[in-house]
Amino acid sequence: MATAKSLQPRMFSSFHGNNSIRSTQPLLHLFRIDVGRRHVSMQLSRTFSGLTNLLFNRRNEDEVIDGNRKRLKPGNSLESQVDSRFTTRKLEFVNTLALWLSQVVCTSVNECICHGIPDSRPLEDGDTINIDVTVYLNGYHGDTSATFFCGDVDEKAKNLVQYVTKESLDKAISICGPGVEYKKVGKTIHDHADKHKYGVVRQFVGHGIGRVFHADPVVLYFRNNEAGRMVLNQTFTIEPMLTIGSIKPVMWDDNWTVVTEDASLSA
């Protein structure tokens, strides 16, 4: 993670609310990029049961996200509305926040790029909210997020979220397959963002996922010359983060919440 000073944007200054932090150490080791290293360890789900567990995790993550989506209304606070429970299923819920913070669902609103913590700030008409959840079941991790609108949003938000960011994700997924170079993912996303004059945040990456939550391969979202090709039954995430302004991320004093430097919208 790039070094950054804390920033409290005017339009979202109360974002981190009153949530307690159990660790004062930033978790930067989860997000450092070393583009010079050769990635050897890969997340492979070589068995049918392994792939089945990953797909089951995804279904449960979708259930949590969909349930929370219905609560995203003007005046509701994320702290009071976001729910990480899985109906009647007895599952172990593990998000990267769970061991350090009072919340286990990431909610990133407006200029928050990622890792926002649900707080007491009421949602406003026109807000954009990303919900990020992770399920751990039978020894396998999942990792899913989606971005939604609260009330009526303007055209610039719709274009960033519904079209360009979503399209860049779909295009990147469509080129994946055995033997494809990882760098093509970054080129695909970067080219599409450039076409629409949006920026691509470079400090966060896709990662292998399976029995380990963060593992190789590292998947960059910008044009690069990194070596490596996809292999059959490999599982990894693609999580493009686009902005309408600055691509520089700034971390708040909670050592977790990351926002755009100029408080511009991110998705």
Q: How is the chain split into domains, by residue range? A: 42-260
pLDDT band for position 54 (50/70/90)? low
- β-partners of residue 122 are 77
Q: What is the mean pLDDT of residues 150-165?
A: 94
Q: What is the mean pLDDT of residues 235-242?
A: 93
Distances (CA, A) of 231 to 108, 127, 141, 221, 240: 32, 39, 19, 19, 21
Q: Convert the pLDDT of each residue in 70-92 to its tens digit.
A: 667 788 877 665 554 433 233 34
Q: What is the mean pLDDT of residues 182-207?
A: 96
Query: Is 169 or 66 the better-scoring residue by pLDDT?
Result: 169
Range name among 10-24, 43-57, 151-165, 224-238 with the lowest pLDDT average = 10-24
Both tokens assigned to 118: 């649900």
> Domain 42-260 in CATH: superfamily?
Creatinase/methionine aminopeptidase superfamily (3.90.230.10)
Q: What is the mean pLDDT of residues 129-138?
A: 79
Specify whether the CB–CB gap between 220 and 182 falls below 8 A.
Answer: yes
Q: Which residue has the tokens 């290293």?
A: 37
Query: Is 45 or 110 the better-scoring residue by pLDDT?
Result: 110
pLDDT score for 188: 98
